[in-house]
Amino acid sequence: MSLLRRFDIPRAPRTAVIAALTAAALVPPAWQSIGFVRTISRTGTVEQAHDWILSDIPKGSSIVIETQALLLSPRAYKVKNVPQLVLDSRTPGDYDGYLEAGVDYLVASSQKYGDPLSRPKDFPELHDAYSRLFTESQEVMRFTPSAEHPGPEIRVFRLR
């Protein structure tokens, strides 16, 4: 700003230029910050699913969750968070395997199943595995993202 003093510019226009440059430097980050605060203040799909599970799934149920973003108390549920519901060596991976393991509910995240279900030619094994698992299980709740509820789609399945 002291560079402007080198030029023969009257004080009032020079002050206006300084104010405009200051505003130009401060407004974009402020606007970005406001947008961030608005986004994080919304109830996301993961939070919706968490609240629904606490209110609608019986305590003590065995739940396998396909996201690390949704955490439940091991005091209330027999819970296991896994990287993926299907084709993962640490999970049964299919309906019968989950039944044998005593699992009551599965929680799936579109961050994992989205690409395989929307692009079956690119992920044929995952597509088939998710399709079988979702068909054989009973979907009891779905949380779909929107402007008011950001996040992945979360689907809750009950094993029959």
Do residues 149 and 105 share a domain? yes
- Does the pLDDT value for residue 95 go beyond 60? yes
Do residues 7 and 65 share a domain? no
- Does the pLDDT value for residue 99 go beyond 70? yes
CA dihedral 37, 35, 114, 143 (to 10 degrees): 50
Do residues 25 and 84 share a domain? no
Q: How far apart are CA 155 and CA 63, in angstroms?
A: 13
Specify the pLDDT at position 126. Answer: 92
- Does the pLDDT value for residue 151 go beyond 80? yes
Task: Please tell me what DSSP assigns to residue 155.
Answer: E
**Domain count within the chain:** 2
pTM: 0.75
Contacts of 39 (CB under 8 A, 6+ apart): 150
Do residues 56 and 32 share a domain? no
Average pLDDT (42-70) is: 94
Judged by average pLDDT, the poorest of 2-16, 73-87, 89-103, 133-147 is 2-16
Do residues 99 and 135 share a domain? yes
Do residues 95 and 130 share a domain? yes
Instruction: Lay out the sheet containing 78-81: strands in order across.
Output: 78-81, 62-65, 105-109, 154-158, 138-143
Encode 9-44: b = buried (16+ Cβ within 10 Å), e = exposed: eeeeeeeeeeeeeeeeeeeeeeeeeeeeeeeeeeeb
Do residues 65 and 90 share a domain? yes
Do residues 93 and 125 share a domain? yes
Judged by average pLDDT, the poorest of 15-19, 32-36, 118-122, 126-130 is 32-36
Do residues 69 and 140 share a domain? yes
The range of the structural domain enclosing residue 14 comes to 2-40
- CA 63 to chain centroid: 18
Average pLDDT (100-125) is: 95
Do residues 36 and 54 share a domain? no
Do residues 18 and 50 share a domain? no
Do residues 54 and 33 share a domain? no
